[in-house]
Structure 1
């Protein structure tokens, strides 16, 4: 390994000369003085750039923490400023008196159902049920919100020839466009389930307002197989049974500044 002029070997490692040693070598008439002085300047310049980069990173980190700590820079309204001004619900999955709604401080709304069950065999109306929930919210000016995800909890039981599915969506009253999500339950299914799905796109409440009416709907469906033939009718009837019971559902609010 070639060493820089003036470098010393100490325990198998090379120690770089100090700037004073370089000046001393220059006084002795060392012909490489120009290269050594330039080399020393490059070392100092590199150290200065490293310190500057680290300082910039500290400033960026500080601004990020400041945004989380200062309410004025937050992307969601302060706690306690979002209020439910009205609540309506309708549908064969949530008849009157069968639904409870609560909004937690982190923006997750929870709905509890007591009569949201679909099943087969039965009438066509028994195979598909839905619940439409309307929530009127008030919040501070300068913010808007959307729905970022939905969740289903419940139980299901059906055989190899029955299919099931869960759907959800939302829209804002007075504005076109409905955002939807769906999930299939392939057979066979038996036991409790808990699903959470995110929306691929987002629709936001209009800016410039301090209130908005949000409509969210939930739907459960079971699909029986085609009618059986006479020879194996009894066997298919045994596999034709299926049901889905939705015990609760939820949706998370996504806030941002206008």
Structure 2
């Protein structure tokens, strides 16, 4: 009975976001998929997720393989007695991929000095439509940042198109025409 109660308390502590405002800021931005000033971050009002929005992240190929990347370093400003990890990432976009071609969306995120979380999704052609993929970790596999330290979170996104079709392109744009990824947070008290 005591072990079950401890499990419930631990699970509750890992899902409750901190009270009050949590802010997020871009520390650095680089890559051929996101020129200076072409990416922004925003924290949700409930402190449960943040969105990275790109204004010009598109990859296009003409019977070849082309890739573009965007590396963003962000700082989440939260109360000292909390830490967070990435529990789920949602990627949405549009792909125009001919027969014999494919698009690939990759994501990597990590805190410096800690393990990296990798994801990769392939979209085979032919397709000319919106796409959406979700990476979700079981709660016990979420890697939280260190307590009482505000290490930056590094987010690396890659779009790649490979193929034989004359014109293939892929973006990470959402239904509101912004190019974005949403990172859902898992909070834990220190």
CA change 1:242–1:212 in 2 (3 A) is same
**Counterpart position of 2:108:** 169
**Contact conserved, 2:73 with 2:153, CA < 8 A, in 1?**
yes
**Counterpart position of 1:154:** 93
Which residue, 180, 186, 189 being the options, matches 1:248? 180
CA change 1:255–1:141 in 2 (3 A) is same
User: Offset at 1:210?
Assistant: 4.7
Q: Deviations over 1:132-165 (max 9, x none)?
A: 1111123223322111111222211111110111
Runs in 1 of length 4+ with deviation above 4 angstroms? none
**Structure with the higher fraction of residues in strand conformation:** 2
Alpha-carbon distance in structure 2 between the residues aligned to 1:120 and 1:158: 10
Which residue, 86, 104, 128 being the options, matches 1:190? 128
**Contact conserved, 1:156 with 1:190, CA < 8 A, in 2?**
yes
User: Offset at 1:122?
Assistant: 6.6
Cα-Cα RMSD: 2.8
Alpha-carbon distance in structure 2 between the residues aligned to 1:192 and 1:240: 20
Q: When the two structures are aligned, how many residues end up with a matched partner?
A: 175
**Counterpart position of 2:59:** 118
**Contact conserved, 1:76 with 1:257, CA < 8 A, in 2?**
no
**Structure with the higher fraction of residues in helix conformation:** 1
Q: Which runs of 5+ in 1 are unaligned?
A: 1-59, 226-238
Which residue, 156, 159, 162 being the options, matches 1:217? 156
TM-score (normalizing by structure 1): 0.60
- The structure having more radius of gyration, on CA atoms, is 1
User: Offset at 1:108?
Assistant: 1.4
**Counterpart position of 2:17:** 76
TM-score (normalizing by structure 2): 0.79
User: Offset at 1:118?
Assistant: 1.0
**Counterpart position of 2:81:** 142
Q: Which runs of 5+ in 2 are unaligned?
A: 173-178
CA change 1:187–1:138 in 2 (3 A) is same
